[in-house]
Amino acid sequence: MVSLHSQGLADLIAGTDIFYSLFCGAAIFLMQCGFAMLCAGSVRQKNVKNIMLKNILDACGGALGYWAVGFGVAYESGTFMGTSGGRFFLHDYGNYIDFFFQFTFAATAATIVAGTVAERCKMVAYLCYSLFLTGFVYPIVVHAIWSSDGFLSAFNPDPVRGVGMIDFAGSGVVHMTGGATALVAAIVLGPRIGRFYDEEGNLLDKPHTFPAHSVALQVLGTFILWFGWYGFNPGSTLAISPAGYGDVAALCAVTTTLSAAAGAVSAMFTDTLLGFIAEGEAEYDLTMCMNGCLGGLVGITAGCSVVEPWASVIIGLISGIVYVGASKLLVLLKIDDAVDAIPVHFANGMWGCIAAGLFAAPRHTALAYGTAEYGLFYGKWALIVNQILGVGFICLWVAGVMTPFFIGLNFLGMFRVDPLEEKVGLDISHHKGAAYNLDVADADDVNELHMSKHGKGETFNDA
Amino acid sequence: MVSLHSQGLADLIAGTDIFYSLFCGAAIFLMQCGFAMLCAGSVRQKNVKNIMLKNILDACGGALGYWAVGFGVAYESGTFMGTSGGRFFLHDYGNYIDFFFQFTFAATAATIVAGTVAERCKMVAYLCYSLFLTGFVYPIVVHAIWSSDGFLSAFNPDPVRGVGMIDFAGSGVVHMTGGATALVAAIVLGPRIGRFYDEEGNLLDKPHTFPAHSVALQVLGTFILWFGWYGFNPGSTLAISPAGYGDVAALCAVTTTLSAAAGAVSAMFTDTLLGFIAEGEAEYDLTMCMNGCLGGLVGITAGCSVVEPWASVIIGLISGIVYVGASKLLVLLKIDDAVDAIPVHFANGMWGCIAAGLFAAPRHTALAYGTAEYGLFYGKWALIVNQILGVGFICLWVAGVMTPFFIGLNFLGMFRVDPLEEKVGLDISHHKGAAYNLDVADADDVNELHMSKHGKGETFNDA
Amino acid sequence: MVSLHSQGLADLIAGTDIFYSLFCGAAIFLMQCGFAMLCAGSVRQKNVKNIMLKNILDACGGALGYWAVGFGVAYESGTFMGTSGGRFFLHDYGNYIDFFFQFTFAATAATIVAGTVAERCKMVAYLCYSLFLTGFVYPIVVHAIWSSDGFLSAFNPDPVRGVGMIDFAGSGVVHMTGGATALVAAIVLGPRIGRFYDEEGNLLDKPHTFPAHSVALQVLGTFILWFGWYGFNPGSTLAISPAGYGDVAALCAVTTTLSAAAGAVSAMFTDTLLGFIAEGEAEYDLTMCMNGCLGGLVGITAGCSVVEPWASVIIGLISGIVYVGASKLLVLLKIDDAVDAIPVHFANGMWGCIAAGLFAAPRHTALAYGTAEYGLFYGKWALIVNQILGVGFICLWVAGVMTPFFIGLNFLGMFRVDPLEEKVGLDISHHKGAAYNLDVADADDVNELHMSKHGKGETFNDA
């Protein structure tokens, strides 16, 4: 009797944990849709097909690249990276849901870049990059910070300074990696024509902002991303059955919510305040609100499982300000980010890692990580040191690998589209025509229809 | 051995119940996206940013307001409301997933109003209102009907008339509260310019209907809402592990589906029939179909766990008719609801509460509520009396609090935008420009591109 | 103690399995939204309301029809079909979640057809068809292949050739049934005016492609569909608690992902290559990419639980090619499919059934189906023979029933809209006007506003 129970319980535990990762992974996968909508909404109408194609292809390329190589590089044994083992091509690895869940993170890291380089990056460059990122660059970061062999990993049997780096769901691993790549790419690629310089290369009096072609798509994307984050953060427990895991997941759901809300509010009102000081007029900027919300989500991602709810509100409030500041800094530096992904993912990814080192509370680090270390504001230094090291490592690694990669692509003429193609837009140049066709019916036909139906000889325009 | 099992099973139960509320809460959260898309699609193009910003901000403000105050008011002890305890600011309350799940309901109640007052309500008024609703007005209703201290609550240890009010997922608590607020707001705020009166205030010969700017967004929103309802209704079991809870949740999924389907069909054909009688022509109105569907969803929300599937079909059919009738009544009364949220949420919320009192089946009330009371059609009066009392309480409470609130805002000139701003639209007036920019590429550039590529000297227009 | 445990565990198992089907069913339900967006995006702007109304109504009609009749026909006892029992009207059937989950499949089968016949099919014909399909035609296929009485069913206590047909989530049952219906409908209905023939019926020099009205909606729909497939395929285990079910579901998630990714890549590059050969220019076609992705999803649906991950990549790669080939074949045959649903669902549904017969691996068929049979590439013939029989059965059954049905509708003049209505578009003809209204604010008003706010006398155009 007891042994039957044992078996029934063990089966149920196995099934429930798989179900949990299936739900969370699916929600994270939907973030691909969120990114696609957000990016597409943010660009000009003439590049919508191009950016969406990139968004789909990096999900697809990410799946194939991560299956073939990346998953093994990330989680097989090895000092710097996994080099052999059953995870490569999943040829001898039975924990399928683990691959599925991890793939969704890799795809997220890859797709962050699409928006930044939108409207001027060649498709072939994007394909090369996204395979390189999901197959190699990102997995190395995962290996260092999340695998049991990682030199900074909290899951290393003997973690550095007794705790390793706390990056629960990837403010650093995912968002900084994607965001740092975007930053390097934006610098090498240069700004869009007409953003800071005119067609002849003369500096504009002030930077030109290209209006988003569809705010509706941006909002749709933002909400879908927020929803997906409920898979991203709580799901990073990787299981729900062990003692306390549910509590950790629940805390993640709450801190994620509060930080997102605080980020949205703080970014919007910061912008309103700055505008009021400069122009004497209070306006409410929807884009600021949305990106602040996303900034708050990125900012809580590292520490979602270890900070108190009140701390998540503070983290979110600061995230909003970090976003606004980083966005303005980029403009000052004449770095053109078509969707402001660098301020959202890179700057707030960095802030998220630091924030976890500041606010991590003893009772939560004990539960989520089984460590006696915690954040600076509670009195310990070890964690914040690790967090800063982690931030530095990601910056150096990504910049070190991606800079020559993009410079190489650029040198080979494979990175940036022809200026005329850029002016016309990539949809007509490379994708068989525009993304929308809003032609309406011929007015004569409409009148004929209405006359025929009503038989009263009145025309549509009269009605 | 047994005690290890005990522990393993207890942990799994805890984890699974948290997972259940996480999934359901996330699905409900996505309804924010549904409302945003539905509302944005329903308004004119010139107010899209404004309505979407309101939709995002009420989710964010709702999260912060409910965290700070609302959750405590709703569920801490007290006769009329919770006044102190660990739930305020979550400062001493460990059941995080409970907060997350309940927050999604508060946010839903808040966002219902956004659509009704669209196109003419000031942002600052909306912010005040949404904090007031999520922090105070809505929590009081929750306290009365869902908390263990509530005078009408079915969860009161000694429920009134042996059953309390059955409002399983909130036809009354959520939808009527939001809808009643919308009704009061619409009356105080007045109709949009050009809806019933022209710019000089002269009555129009017949009411003018402003066409929705994007039916695609409306449909998107409707489907997302329907999806979210599978979290809203089944999720209101609050757990899935106890005996019978799964069966209750499953019944909710079925009744929700059937009522939505029946509502859509009945509203559309009712409208088609009325149109045919009036004009002799059969047309199929997509908006009627969508709002009927939403009406069916609201109508089943109170009774989803206690009515038979066949009864849910009847409830849905009537919901569709209630929607059509209430919508026409509003027009007669010259109350302007930009998205017909009052007929959907207020009228059908009321119908849902009543319907639960009529159709609640003995076997289901016993399972879901552990009571021997049930609906009028099965022969008992106690429940329907409570339902009517609950409807009356919500109406009186919301009207009593919200009427002076909105009149006060109006008196202070904080409620309604300036007529010129209304004509121009709120996006240009307050949000830095229009929501869409569909500029296409310059035709000369396109021709130049095509000539350069093909080298045939043919122009784009020839092709 | 032990018996309390027994009970607690049994309750938890029951609850968890219901929760699993609730999540998967809800995700599948969201595919209705995906189809609506994909179809609406694919058609011309003048028919958007019409196609979306069809998409909503087939979900609603499907729910009511499947509740009343279809569910009983599918799963009650009987040689050819269920004829009586508690499932009809759910009047005596307690497993509610089973109905909910199965309904989502029926609705999927129904909605596949909407896209194909878009822009020219009468609403009343569509309503008749969708009730007929969900109430009768589709349930018969389910009965044959999925019920325990089915002559080809793998769940028959004595399955034919020791295995029956392996169609795990319905490449055949759902997608071929929907796709074959679409094919018959497209043939009977004829092409849209101007597609292959001009208004006078003269053959065009080359087929005219109507551009999609919104690529953004298409991409949105594709991603939502992909997301929904994580309910569709893994969810087809129907439970998650029994030993090994979790592993099967996890495999499904992985094979689904890889096949979708491979299909997208292969269809796009096949198209690019063909274009390059024909025109000497490499273009990347987003529609090809999306439909290839969907083709890969359909192609893996039958075998998702029984093939190795590497095989799913091959299946996906071939799915992409099958899609491109079938799409071109339809054009050659002058069969007009407004959204290419036939290549995606019918052609790849067929390929999916065959692929399962080729690639089914011994260890996976043993786990998922408890059979010693497996695919041809591993050396056994029984399964592939069954798969081919199943494909033949579905084709014959659907064609045999649907051909007279559509011919009858056509004969009665109930199938195709009037040519003038088709030219004007169905939205204006039947649905009270166009789907979009993008009117902008009056320029004079805007100027007045800006002058009044800044008081500087400058006009908007100057700014």
Check CB contact of A6 with chain C, cutoff 8 Å.
no
Predicted pLDDT of residue A459: 39
Q: Count the residues in chain B.
A: 463
The rounded mean pLDDT for chain A is 93
- Write the pLDDT tens digit of every residue in A428-446: 888 888 888 877 777 888 8
Is B446 in contact with A436 (Cβ distance < 8 A)? no
Average the pLDDT over A281-304 and give the result.
Answer: 95
Q: Can you tell me the distance from the alpha carbon of B189 to that of A286, in angstroms, rounded to the nearest whole number?
A: 24
Neighbours of C210 (CB within 10 A): 17
Dihedral sign computed on CA atoms, order C49, C55, C56, C58: positive
Is B200 exposed, middle or buried, given 0-12, 13-18 or 19+ CB atoms closer than 10 A? exposed
* The pLDDT of residue A5: 73
**Inter-chain residue contact A96 with C9, CB threshold 8 Å:** no
A229/A28 Cα distance (integer angstroms)? 7
A212 in contact with chain C, both atoms CB, cutoff 8 A: no
pLDDT at C4: 67
| pLDDT > 80? residue A453 | no
Encode pLDDT of A19-45 as tens digits.
Answer: 999 999 999 999 999 999 999 999 998
- Cα gap A198→A174, rounded to integer Å: 35
Q: How far is B20 from chain C (nearest CA, A)?
A: 7
- Residue B11: Cβ within 10 Å count: 18
Q: Please, which residues bridge with residue A153 across strands?
A: A165
Query: pLDDT band at A102, cuts 50/70/90?
Result: very high
ipTM of the complex in this document = 0.95
Residue B274 CB neighbours (<10 A)? 13
Secondary structure class of B379 (helix, strand, coil): coil
Tell me the sheet residues that pair with A416: A121
- Contact in structure between C117 and C182 (CB atoms under 8 Å): yes
pLDDT at B92 over 80: yes
Per-residue tokens: C54: 């069809």
| Overall average pLDDT of the C100-124 stretch | 94
Q: Do A14 and C247 touch (CB under 8 A)?
A: yes
The predicted pLDDT at position B99 comes to 97
Beta carbons of B442 and A429 less than 8 Å apart: no
Phi and psi (nearest 5°) for C197?
Answer: -130, 150
C358, pLDDT greater than 60: yes
Strand partners, B214: C436
For helices B48-65 and A215-232, what crossing angle results, to 10°?
30
Nearest to A120 by CA among A399, A340, A429: A429
Contact of A159 with A89, CB cutoff 8 Å: no
The 10 Å Cβ neighbour count of residue C203 is: 10
Nearest to C311 by CA among C324, C296, C323: C296
User: Are the C-beta atoms of residues A274 and A285 closer than 8 Å to each other?
Assistant: no
* Burial profile B228-252: b = 16 or more Cβ within 10 angstroms, e = fewer: bbbbbbbbbbebbbbeebbbbbbbb
pLDDT at A218 over 90: yes
State the smallest CA–CA distance between residue B104 and chain A in angstroms: 10
Instruction: Give me the helix-helix angle, A286-301 and A215-232, nearest 10°.
Output: 10
Checking if the pLDDT of B216 tops 50, the result is: yes
Instruction: For residue B16, give the nearest of A16, A211, A253 by CB distance.
Output: A16
Amino acid at B152: L
Q: C270 φ, ψ to 5°?
A: -60, -45
Tell me the residues of chain B between 86 and 105 that have a Cβ less than 8 Å away from chain A.
89-91, 94-97, 99-100, 103
Residue B395's H or E segment, with its range, is helix B382-411
B303 and B315 Cβ atoms separated by less than 8 Å:
yes
Residue C18, SS3 per DSSP: helix
> Which of the four pLDDT bands, split at 50, 70 and 90, describes residue A189?
very high
Tell me how far apart the alpha carbons of residues C446 and B317 are, in angstroms, rounded to a whole number: 46
**Environment class of C194 (CB within 10 Å of its CB; exposed 0-12, middle 13-18, buried 19+):** middle
Q: How far apart are CA A224 and CA A37, in angstroms?
A: 9
Flag the least confident range among A108-112, A453-457, B303-307, C281-285: A453-457
pLDDT 10s digits, A309-329: 999 999 999 999 999 999 999
Which of A37, A227, A317 to mutate against chain B (most B CBs within 10 Å)?
Answer: A227
Q: Please tell me which of A441-450, B103-112, C441-450 the model is most confident about, judged by mean pLDDT.
A: B103-112
Question: How would you class B415 by CB atoms within 10 Å of its CB: exposed for 0-12, middle for 13-18, buried for 19 or more?
Answer: buried
Alpha-carbon span C284 to A53, nearest angstrom: 8
Average pLDDT on B246-250 reads 97
- Closest in A247, A253, A434 to B440, CB measured: A434
The chains in contact with chain B, meaning 3 or more Cβ pairs closer than 8 Å, are A, C
- Please indicate whether, in this complex, the C-beta atoms of B16 and C16 are within 8 angstroms of each other: yes
In degrees and rounded to multiples of 5, residue C242 shows phi and psi of -65, 155
The CA distances from residue A297 to A257, A294, B18, B123, C261, in Å, are: 8, 5, 21, 24, 28
Kindly state the tokens that stand for A308: 């108190």
Three-state DSSP class for B416? Answer: strand
Whether C5 has a pLDDT exceeding 90, the answer reads no
**Rounded distance between C-alpha atoms, residue A93 and residue A100, angstroms:** 12
What separation in angstroms does the CA of B332 have from each of A17, B115, B186?
Answer: 56, 20, 14
Banded model confidence at residue C73, pLDDT cuts 50, 70, 90: very high
Three-state DSSP at B162 gives helix
Q: What does the alpha-carbon distance between residue B349 and residue B172 come to, in Å, rounded to a whole number?
A: 5
